[in-house]
């Protein structure tokens, strides 16, 4: 018998979405992935406006700025059902939402997290940034500086939510919070490590290509209109 075709990974162009819009889109695609039994998976590449998100293990005491200060800065706060604590999203940060069935990966959530870290490490190193994972701390680091955060959720063995990689993010946004519950942690970005930022579109394209390779899927650059009806 010929080998089975790899599952498809549908990925639109880089999107600019409000956090709640992205959440609703993820939920639709998650349900579509469940219905397909993992034959069709999705990868969303997104930039968000300035947003603080509070995960399942998060506490509002880790939001250090007052409501008035956040309003002055134009930063919104959103509760979310992803794992993890409090983090910051903003322009210049590549947020990737893999909506994939974990059946083919042994329904092993810890393996999936480690694989996400490995994919991000590969992506950073492709730009000459010596990133690494730092178990048991989930995420990706450059020496002791955190460059990418991970927070996922799973329903019926389909993942959603995902990762945030700082490309050219205004890192002062992280001063508004205790990032991921880690006090005194230093946050970095590709721009800070390299002295200049690679183009966001290029990073997003490379992220999608590496993801498909590392997770053994067939990448299809689907137009966003196809996602609207998924």
168-196: per-residue pLDDT in tens? 999 999 999 988 777 778 999 999 999 99
Domains and CATH numbers, the chain: 8-228 (3.30.930.10)
CA dihedral 84, 25, 70, 72 (to 10 degrees): 160
Dist CA 29 CA 202 (whole Å): 24
Structure tokens at 145: 């500086």
Q: Is 189 left (phi over 0), alpha (psi -120 to 50) or beta?
A: beta
Mind telling me the catalytic residues?
180
Helices vs strands, H then E, count in the chain? 6, 13
Q: Alpha helix locations (H) across the chain?
A: 19-36, 67-73, 109-125, 190-194, 200-214, 224-228
Q: Are 92 and 187 in contact (CB under 8 A)?
A: no
Is the pTM above the cut of 0.75? yes
Q: Among 116-130, 131-145, 175-189, name the most confident range.
A: 116-130
């Amino acid at each position: 018998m010929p080998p089975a075709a790899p599952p498809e990974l549908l990925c639109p162009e880089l999107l600019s979405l409000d956090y709640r819009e992205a959440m609703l889109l993820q939920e639709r695609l998650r349900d579509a992935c469940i219905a397909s039994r993992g034959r069709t998976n999705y990868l969303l590449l997104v930039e968000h406006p300035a947003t603080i998100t509070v995960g399942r293990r998060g506490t509002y005491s880790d939001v250090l700025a007052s409501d008035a200060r956040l309003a002055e800065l134009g930063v919104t706060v959103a509760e979310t059902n992803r794992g993890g604590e409090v983090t910051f999203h903003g322009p210049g940060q590549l947020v990737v939402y893999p909506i994939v069935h974990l059946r083919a990966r042994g329904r092993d959530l810890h393996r999936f997290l480690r694989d996400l870290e490995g994919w991000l490490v590969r992506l950073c190193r492709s730009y000459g940034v010596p990133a690494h994972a730092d178990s048991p701390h989930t995420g990706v680091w450059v020496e002791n500086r955190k460059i990418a955060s991970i927070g996922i959720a799973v329903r019926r063995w389909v993942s959603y939510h995902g990762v945030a990689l700082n490309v050219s993010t205004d890192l002062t946004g992280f001063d508004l919070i205790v990032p991921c519950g880690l006090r005194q942690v230093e946050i970095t970005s590709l721009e800070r490590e390299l002295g200049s930022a690679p183009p966001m579109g290029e990073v997003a394209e490379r992220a999608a290509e590496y993801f498909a390779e590392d997770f053994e899927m067939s990448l299809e650059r689907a137009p966003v209109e196809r996602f609207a009806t998924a």
